[in-house]
Amino acid sequence: MIQIRKGGDRGSANFGWLQSRHSFSFGHYYDPAHMGYGSLRVINEDQVQGGAGFDTHGHRDMEIITYVLSGSLEHKDTLGNGSILRPGDVQRMSAGTGILHSEFNASAEDPVHFLQIWIQPNQRSLPPSYEERYFPRSERQGKLRLIASNDISGDVSGDDGDNPPITVHQDVRLYAGLLDAGETVDYSVNDSRQVWLQVAKGAIAIKTPDTSELVPLAVGDGAAIAMPGAADRRLDIVAQESDSEILLFDLAM
């Protein structure tokens, strides 16, 4: 079963320096039909103008993942971390018992475009922690590359033992893929799990065994996919445009 969340139907906020689209309820945007998907609570697509950003603010009991699409984002927090994130960098901040941080565009002129993702942790009141890792284009091109997981064994499909995924405190596997027009990747959806697929750039089309034709997804679109009880649980993903970029969340039901 596929349920489409069109990018144009997302919540929105425009503060001049910030333009944001919300796949799920967030801030002043509230839609009881879109409160999250499994443990996935927030996908915000943010574009911040040069020299602007989010002043120091706090979080608790949330796994926060930042995925940069273009530009550069400067992070500082009360754990003493300070870094500049660029495309290919993936950051995880476990807010736990409480953390303060700021996020600013590292450029005074060029915008920064990124996704901020919130995942509900599997345990409350964890000690705050931070992790970031770089995943080059070569590791994500034409494939689904595991970039975040709660499996610390390293023995997970899509993992590269020399560059393991960041760790999240929840039963989630997050993959990133870069696809040129016509490229295809497939993913087997476990019978007891569900998938959220987010189109970050470009356009793709998807197909499951119970769909008679490809289902198109444009930039900003998301798709909730589950196939409980199906004999064939293969999800086919076909890029419709070059330089398409996708995130795939494999979540417990």
Q: What is the pLDDT of residues 83-117, one digit of tens each?
A: 999 999 999 999 999 999 999 999 999 999 999 99
Range of the domain at 6: 2-252
Cα atoms found within 13 Å of the Cα of residue 221, Cβ hemisphere only = 16
pTM more than 0.85: yes
CATH number at 31 reads: 2.60.120.10
Question: Residues 62-87, buried b or exposed e (16+ Cβ, 10 A)?
Answer: bbbbbbbeebbbbbebeeebeeebeb
What total of structural domains would you count in the chain? 1
Q: What is the pLDDT of residues 44-80, one digit of tens each?
A: 999 999 999 999 999 999 999 999 999 999 999 999 9
Q: What is the pLDDT of residues 154-208, one digit of tens each?
A: 445 556 668 999 999 999 999 999 999 999 999 999 999 999 999 999 999 999 9
Residue 230, pLDDT score: 85
Q: What is the pLDDT of residues 135-160, one digit of tens each?
A: 999 999 999 999 999 975 444 555 66
